[in-house]
Structure 1
Amino acid sequence: MPKVQLNGIDLFYEIKGTGEPLLLISGFLCDHSYWSVLMPYFTPHYQIIRLDNRGMGRSSAPDTPYSIQEMADDTAALLDYLGIDQVHIAGHSMGGQIAQELALIYPQKIKSLILLSSLAKGDERFNSIIEIWGELPQKIDMRLYQRVILPWIFSENFYSIADMIEQLIEWAVHYPFSPQIHSIYHHSRAILGCDTTNRLQNILCPTLVLSGKQDILTPVQFSEQLAAGILGAKLSVINGGGHGFIIESPKIVGRAMLDFLAQLH
């Protein structure tokens, strides 16, 4: 699994599958492995490119402020390194913020955009949650941290599955590439510092906005704002799942994404 030095950091990436390139960008606290449950749906049809954003997974984690635009620049540099002129992009949560910046700064590179559980700008409640999430790892251990954040990520139905949450907590606690405390802080501040509200009309590529009906972190109205601001964007609200609906309902999410991409041909 390769790394490449770009923009002063080592950037980890992985490529699987064949076909048109589809780039998947993960969100806060997540590296490329977050998309693993969707890979069986995508790799028969697309060349899937996944990366670890700076500060996550196996990419470098400098203890300096990060920005969403900086992470978009990292991603664009990776595409240039790989010799990919145009790509479909899907981004979840913070990854959707990065994807928006890519479409705004590098429109010539973007064939289409899929924004999952994402936002243009947070409201006061969202901003308060992300601010606290950025600071908590300095105060509590990872096990307790997961117990604090997971109720915001998954739906009641998911919580009702026996031992599911405990399994996720154990996985996170023992994951060998967990983010460093300073990276969590810098990512939280990058999320808070991003606002595309007044630039959404400049996103001109075909766009799908996907939201989980039970999402209480980035609720449906955040996706409605994105879809209303981006000319011609399609909004789809999925019944099965909360903010982490990729994990909760991979078959439904994967089908929605593939159907959208198929309509572009």
Structure 2
Amino acid sequence: MPIAELNHQGLYFEDSGGSGPAVILAHGFLMDGRMFDAQVQALAPEFRVIRWDARGFGRTRWDGKPFNLYDSAADCIALLDHLGIQQAIVGGMSQGGYCALRVALRYPERVRALVLMSTRGTMDEEEVRAGYRQVRDLWGTPGATENIVQNLAGGIIGDARFHSPWLDRWRQTPKANFVAAMNNLIERDDIKNQLGDIRCPVIVFHGTDDAGIPHAQGEYLHKALPNSKRFVSVPGAAHAANLTHPEVVNPPLVEFLRALA
């Protein structure tokens, strides 16, 4: 397995290789790099696509210590260093988008452009954070976990045709991993007033039926980022729009990336 020992983590990644412009993608909460299968198929080999599993999820060997989004941003940069990539198009879905925004803020010289999917640049409302805390505390409780999995499946993925194999992976998530990753979301810092500092080209995608992050937040992000080139609304898509609706996401994504050359 491609594991890079970086920042005291065993970071799992996949690299399509090739000499094309590098695109590095970070996944959403409870997901892993496999959620970008359709994007890799559409982009490689014209683009070199790297995807990685964040701490607590997928096949990354997490050290068990608390982490925040700046730790994830540092993991992203460390992986680029490991691969000898000086600058990349940085992308992410939901949690991965939070990470991508912070990569752009902390390491602007390393970011050629941003691809933001189903994410936001503002804080969650207190009601939303309270719900997250409740889910966090109930995870691993007999009977509760399955209900949470089913509810999250509807909210994150939506279309039941795409639930397999994700639900089985979610059920295997240890309590410690779930708690640390949820705290990472709940306790993230407010970067709303820094969005104007991100000057690289951006494309924003958002599903119209996203219950996790309202569609209006995607529109706000597009307007708040001074060099956002396009907002792509994905009709009928829930949170993981790139997973369920690649036929809508991939063509404008390819067009955006080609225009950067």
Distance 2:234 2:109 in 1: 30
Is 1:146 matched with 2:146? no
How far did residue 180 of structure 1 move? 2.2
- Equivalent position SS for 1:102: helix
How far did residue 132 of structure 1 move? 2.9
Is 1:235 matched with 2:231? yes
Distance 1:129 1:35 in 2: 27
- Equivalent position SS for 1:145: helix
How far did residue 179 of structure 1 move? 3.1
In the other structure, the counterpart of 1:12 is 12
Deviation by residue 1:109-147 (Cα, 9 ceiling, x = unmatched): 000001100012212343233333323323246543321
Amino acid at match of 1:61: W
In the other structure, the counterpart of 2:139 is 137
In the other structure, the counterpart of 1:112 is 113
Distance 1:132 1:93 in 2: 20
Distance 1:34 1:133 in 2: 23
In the other structure, the counterpart of 1:220 is 215
In the other structure, the counterpart of 2:195 is 200
Amino acid at match of 1:261: L
How far did residue 23 of structure 1 move? 0.4
Retained in 1: the 8 A contact 2:2–2:13?
A: yes
Counterpart pick for 1:246 among 221, 242, 252: 242
In the other structure, the counterpart of 2:204 is 209
Distance 1:11 1:252 in 2: 30
Deviation by residue 1:90-126 (Cα, 9 ceiling, x = unmatched): 1000000000000000001000001100012212343
TM-score normalised to the size of structure 2? 0.91
Retained in 1: the 8 A contact 2:120–2:213?
A: yes
How far did residue 221 of structure 1 move? 1.6
Amino acid at match of 2:109: Q
Amino acid at match of 1:241: A
Amino acid at match of 1:239: P
In the other structure, the counterpart of 1:183 is 177
Q: How does 1:80-119 map to 2 (within 5 A)?
A: 80-119=81-120
TM-score normalised to the size of structure 1? 0.89
Bigger Cα displacement from structure 2, 253-262 vs 173-182: 173-182
Q: 1:65 to 1:123 in 2, by over 3 A?
A: same
Amino acid at match of 2:156: I
Distance 2:198 2:69 in 1: 16
How far did residue 240 of structure 1 move? 3.6
Q: 1:260 to 1:219 in 2, by over 3 A?
A: same
Retained in 2: the 8 A contact 1:116–1:209?
A: yes
Distance 2:154 2:91 in 1: 24
How far did residue 178 of structure 1 move? 4.3
Deviation by residue 1:182-221 (Cα, 9 ceiling, x = unmatched): 1111111111222211111111110111111111110112
Distance 1:78 1:56 in 2: 16
Q: 1:254 to 1:189 in 2, by over 3 A?
A: same
CA RMSD of aligned residues (A): 2.0
Is 1:3 matched with 2:3? yes
Is 1:28 matched with 2:23? no
Distance 1:211 1:88 in 2: 19
- Equivalent position SS for 1:88: strand
In the other structure, the counterpart of 1:39 is 40
Amino acid at match of 1:260: F
- Equivalent position SS for 1:152: helix
% identical aligned pairs: 26
Distance 2:138 2:64 in 1: 17
How many residues end up aligned between the 2 structures?
Answer: 256
Distance 2:243 2:183 in 1: 25
How far did residue 151 of structure 1 move? 2.0
